[in-house]
């Protein structure tokens, strides 16, 4: 895990920190025609953000108001809103547009996530960004919690539909309307987690070796898990982004109670559960591991009526 602060307890502040400082899932894909960013923010920017995050922890109202002004019902949109806030705040970038719709003959043909000027390099950047969670059952199957989603599909969408949109005739015309009549550099960014079963799996060579990771267990395997002297929490979708932290022990449970909750859940549902294992660090409980718990037949039974 990245060296995230043990002092930020506000969930939105922790999530912003994660979006800024966590490593990307992909840094390079040979011969793909897509330039993946190894980092979005410079060392100078990160020094600035350390101070900003400390101030936001004391008074997060501006950040929370900004996020609430966005449509963040979907986790991917929440990730984008956090990144947009960081781009707006950075003294080394000038955000020009976000979610810029590209139209042709009166119809929307796509959208550019972010257009900004890098004030250090003096370049206009078109950034396509995504926050994703994938279960690494094996090298060929890096699937989302909804197995209809996959890392391969996301990469192909970036390559074929998204990254070239700013260089299309329609994209150039839209950028000209914003006063941009110079070369635009398209870039891609995928951040998130890969979750692994107990056995060691090989991965595509384009996966960043420093990526964020968690564990994945079948429901039956989870029932046999024996871990003592820690607390657990089933994470709501809004709590998936950064490693969980809390001072409120009452919202946590022991392993026996968690097993009961998980059993009751999978008696009715088939969507994977994300759970956090937390250890006490003074007055704070900090996530030490996270697990996707998947049904015994996932992904085969996902669309059989239980999902």
Between vectors from CA 269 to CA 263 and to CA 274, what angle results, nearest 5°? 70
Residue located via tokens 């960013």: 37
Output the pLDDT for position 6: 60
Q: What is the mean pLDDT of residues 118-130?
A: 96
pLDDT at residue 1 is higher than 50: no
Span of 78-82, 83-87, 156-160, 176-180 with lowest mean pLDDT? 156-160
Output the pLDDT for position 307: 39
Span of 69-83, 160-174, 213-227, 232-246 with lowest mean pLDDT? 213-227
Residues forming a β-bridge with 125: 116, 185
Output the pLDDT for position 198: 67
Output the pLDDT for position 192: 96
| Cα 148 from Cα 87, distance rounded (Å) | 31
DSSP letters spanning 248-268: -GGG-B-HHHHHHHHHHHHTT
Residues in contact with 147: Cβ distance below 8 Å, sequence separation at least 6, in sequence order = 298, 299, 302
Residue 274 and residue 203 in contact, taking contact as beta carbons nearer than 8 Å: no
| Cα 234 from Cα 122, distance rounded (Å) | 45
- For 250-305, what is each residue's pLDDT tens digit? 999 999 999 999 999 999 999 999 999 999 998 899 999 999 999 999 998 776 54
Q: Regarding predicted confidence, which is higher, 306 or 12?
A: 12
pLDDT band for position 32 (cuts 50, 70, 90): confident
Closest CA to 217 of 277, 279, 160, 268: 277
Residue extents of the structural domains in the chain: 11-196, 212-306
pLDDT at residue 239 is higher than 90: yes
Kind and range of the H or E element at 88?
helix 75-89
Output the pLDDT for position 55: 97
Residues in contact with 140: Cβ distance below 8 Å, sequence separation at least 6, in sequence order = none
pLDDT band for position 106 (cuts 50, 70, 90): confident
Half-sphere exposure of 207 (CA within 13 A, CB side): 20
What token pair was written down for 129? 């960004």
Residue located via tokens 């994660």: 18
Q: What is the mean pLDDT of residues 150-164?
A: 92
| Cα 195 from Cα 205, distance rounded (Å) | 17
* 3-state SS class at 235: coil
Q: What is the mean pLDDT of residues 68-83?
A: 95
| Cα 10 from Cα 299, distance rounded (Å) | 34
Output the pLDDT for position 141: 79
| Own/partner pairs, 87-92, CB within 8 angstroms, 24+ separation | 87/114, 87/116, 89/49, 89/52, 90/41, 90/45, 90/48, 90/49, 91/45, 91/48, 91/119, 92/41, 92/42, 92/44, 92/45, 92/48, 92/118, 92/119, 92/120
Percent of the chain exceeding pLDDT 90 equals: 80
Average pLDDT, the chain: 91
- For 185-227, what is each residue's pLDDT tens digit? 999 999 999 999 865 667 888 999 999 999 999 999 998 888 7
In terms of Cβ atoms closer than 10 Å to its own Cβ (0-12, 13-18, 19+), residue 143 is buried
Residues in contact with 123: Cβ distance below 8 Å, sequence separation at least 6, in sequence order = 117, 183, 185
pLDDT band for position 306 (cuts 50, 70, 90): very low
Output the pLDDT for position 4: 63
- For 40-71, what is each residue's pLDDT tens digit? 999 899 999 999 999 999 999 999 999 999 98
- The beta-strand segments (E) located in the chain are 93-104, 107-118, 123-138, 141-143, 184-196, 212-218, 231-234, 245-246, 273-281, 284-294
Output the pLDDT for position 2: 52
Q: What is the mean pLDDT of residues 175-190?
A: 96
| Cα 275 from Cα 180, distance rounded (Å) | 45
């Amino acid at each position: 895990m990245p060296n995230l602060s043990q002092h930020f307890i506000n969930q939105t502040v922790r999530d912003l920190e994660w979006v800024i400082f966590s490593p990307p899932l992909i840094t390079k894909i040979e011969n793909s025609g897509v330039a993946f960013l190894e980092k979005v923010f410079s060392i100078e920017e990160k020094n600035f953000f350390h101070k900003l995050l400390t101030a936001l922890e004391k008074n997060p109202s501006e950040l929370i108001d900004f996020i609430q002004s966005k449509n963040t019902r979907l986790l991917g949109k929440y990730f984008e809103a956090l990144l947009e806030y960081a781009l707006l705040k950075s003294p080394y970038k000038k955000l020009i547009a976000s979610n810029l719709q590209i139209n042709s003959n009166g119809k929307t043909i796509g959208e550019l996530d972010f257009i900004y000027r890098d004030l250090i390099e003096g370049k206009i950047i078109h950034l396509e960004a995504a926050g994703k969670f994938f279960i690494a059952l094996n090298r060929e199957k890096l699937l989302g919690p909804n197995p209809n989603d996959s890392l391969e599909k996301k990469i192909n969408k970036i390559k074929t539909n998204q990254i070239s949109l700013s260089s299309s005739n329609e994209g150039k015309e839209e950028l000209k309307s914003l006063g941009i009549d110079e070369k635009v550099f398209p870039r891609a960014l995928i951040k998130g987690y890969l979750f692994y079963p107990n056995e060691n799996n090989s991965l595509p060579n384009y996966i960043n070796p420093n990526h964020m990771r968690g564990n994945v267990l079948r429901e039956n395997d989870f029932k046999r898990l024996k871990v003592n002297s820690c607390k657990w929490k089933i994470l709501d979708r809004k709590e998936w982004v950064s490693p969980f932290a809390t001072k409120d022990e009452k919202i946590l449970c022991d392993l026996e109670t968690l097993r009961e909750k998980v059993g009751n859940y999978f008696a009715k549902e088939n969507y994977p559960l994300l759970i956090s294992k937390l250890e006490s660090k003074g007055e704070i409980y900090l996530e030490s591991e996270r697990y996707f718990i998947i049904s015994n037949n996932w992904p085969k039974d996902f669309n059989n009526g239980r999902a």
